[in-house]
């Protein structure tokens, strides 16, 4: 089992950058695929980025590709989502998720979730 806690959310101007962190406790984070999802008001939760536990291959939603970078530091049991060129449509609650299996874009595949951190991008 692993417990997850996000941090780093806040208010940023359009075009700016923000770094989100996911701190894991319990079993070593390196045994889990890590993914980020987000949910905007009135919208369904959507996939943002993921990194596979075994291959370290990364995956991105088309809407964030080229702007966001997912990474992990297994020695520190942390995962990061670096967000650049932020747009107002990036405004959402961002969630860190983990699964002891292969990467999936389906949020139903993830057994462990943080409680979310708010990201607001202003004009």
CB atoms < 10 A from the CB of 56, how many?
12
pLDDT of residue 86: 98
pLDDT digits (tens, 9 = 90+) for 23-72: 999 888 888 999 999 999 999 999 999 999 877 899 999 999 999 999 99
For the chain, count helices (H), then strands (E): 0, 11
22 is written with which tokens?
């996911």
pLDDT of residue 26: 87
The number of residues making up the chain comes to 123
Q: Where are the alpha helices (DSSP H) in the chain?
A: none
Which class for 13: exposed (0-12), middle (13-18), buried (19 or more C-beta within 10 A)? exposed
pLDDT digits (tens, 9 = 90+) for 62-115: 999 999 999 999 889 999 999 999 999 999 999 999 999 899 999 999 999 999
Residue with tokens 């874009």, as numbered in its chain: 105
């Amino acid at each position: 089992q692993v417990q997850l806690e996000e941090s780093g959310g806040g208010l940023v101007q359009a075009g700016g950058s923000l770094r989100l962190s996911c701190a894991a406790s319990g079993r070593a984070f390196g045994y889990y695929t890590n993914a980020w999802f987000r949910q905007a008001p009135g919208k369904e939760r959507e996939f943002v980025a993921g990194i596979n536990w075994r291959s370290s291959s990364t995956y991105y939603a088309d809407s964030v590709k080229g702007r966001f970078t997912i990474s992990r530091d297994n020695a520190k049991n942390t995962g990061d989502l670096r967000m650049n060129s932020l747009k107002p449509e990036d405004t959402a609650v961002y969630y860190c998720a983990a699964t002891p299996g292969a990467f999936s874009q389906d949020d139903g595949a993830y057994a462990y979730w943080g409680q979310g951190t708010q990201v607001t991008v202003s004009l």
